[in-house]
Amino acid sequence: MNDFLDRFSPYLKEIEGALNQTLGARVPVVSEIIQYSLLGAGKRIRPLLFVLSSHLCGYQGRDVYRLSTLFEYVHAASLLHDDVLDNADLRRRKPSVRQVWGNSAAVLGGDFLYSAASAVAVECKNLELIRLLSDALKRMVEGQFLELEHTHDWKITKTEYAEIITAKTAILMSAACSSGAVVAGSDEKTTQYLRDFGLNLGIAFQLMDDLLDYTSSEEVFGKPVGKDLKEGKITLPLVYFLSDLDSTEVERLAEFFKSQKAAETDYADFVRRVRASRAIDRVRSEALDYVRKAEEVLNFFADSEAKQDLLELGGYVLARHH
């Protein structure tokens, strides 16, 4: 993480400065919630992808950092809503907004951030950017619905899982990258290349996130390890782990964890079983494949500092610990 901060520090400082500009909330509690959830936290991957993609396409406008904030607003809003749906008490190593202010305030805070993102997009006066944002938001909501449908679904397939993470996570990263091409006035071919880059990188990012839920620690990860399992989210590490068991054992485990009779020690023991299985290396290998696909897309572009920065982001995704 320190290498990441060192390399991208100039960009991150500009992004942080843009995020610190007032959002114009007239109600004090809204400002408190936004500051608590948005400022001084997060890796800013999505706005960084937008900035680097726009630079890759030759755009040097100073408004690039202001425009980049819309992707962080959308991401932060989705986390506020996710925590309500998941009844999550912890986010980024501190109590979640719903835990501090309640579910209703968390939902409204997310709504405010979605509105803020729309306002920034409108400022750009670029209809294609607005369309990209609108499409991404719709896909993200669809992804959330799919995840709800498959909660506690121990028979979820890899294809169904991939559909969820593509819509919930990868689509926004893809939109951030392709929007960078759009503001630079790039042609459709260039825009498509960056769309594909962001999609592949986003899938790799979520694969590693789901892997860390089984391999990291709460202190490092910023949220309880095994959280996905407790919330009934059957992610790829578990899909692969279950594929090595016979159907009787899978049914027994499913019934036990669905019954809500499992104690903390049961969850901890099960997480250790998954961690010790070959499922971990399979998921890590798959994440590497998606990063390589993303890197291959960049072969279309001439060598530049922005291209090298985007390649470095792929390495960060694979090496991250939280």
How much is the pLDDT for 218?
A: 56
What is d(CA 97, CA 191) in angstroms, rounded to the nearest whole number?
36
Containing structural domain, residue 287: 2-319
How much is the pLDDT for 302?
A: 97
How much is the pLDDT for 217?
A: 65
DSSP-derived letter for residue 300 is G
- Give residue for tokens 């392709």: 178
Instruction: Give helix 236-243 / helix 279-297 axis angle, nearest 10°.
Output: 130
How much is the pLDDT for 224?
A: 64
- Give residue for tokens 């459709």: 188
Mean pLDDT by 10 residues, the chain (322 residues): 75 93 86 87 92 97 95 97 92 90 97 95 94 97 97 96 98 98 98 98 97 77 73 96 96 92 91 96 98 97 97 91 62
What is d(CA 15, CA 31) in angstroms, rounded to the nearest whole number?
19
Q: Return the bridge partners of 25, or none.
A: none
Q: Tell me what the pLDDT averaged over the chain comes to.
A: 93
Q: For the segment 239-272, what is each residue's pLDDT rounded down to a tens digit?
A: 999 999 999 999 999 999 998 888 999 999 999 9
The burial of 63, by beta-carbon neighbours within 10 Å (0-12 exposed, 13-18 middle, 19 or more buried), is given as middle
- Give residue for tokens 């996130």: 209
- What residues have CB less than 8 Å from 270, skipping those under 6 apart? 226, 229, 253, 257
Global pTM reads 0.94
Instruction: Give helix 305-319 / helix 279-297 axis angle, nearest 10°.
Output: 170
How much is the pLDDT for 281?
A: 97
Write out the two tokens for 320: 């991250």
φ, ψ of residue 95 in degrees (nearest 5):
-55, 140
How much is the pLDDT for 238?
A: 98
Q: For the segment 148-182, what is each residue's pLDDT rounded down to a tens digit?
A: 999 999 999 999 999 999 999 999 999 999 999 99
How much is the pLDDT for 153?
A: 96
Q: Return the bridge partners of 91, or none.
A: 94
CATH number at residue 219: 1.10.600.10
Cβ contact 106:98 at 8 Å? yes
Domain count, the chain: 1
Cβ contact 31:99 at 8 Å? no
How much is the pLDDT for 1?
A: 54
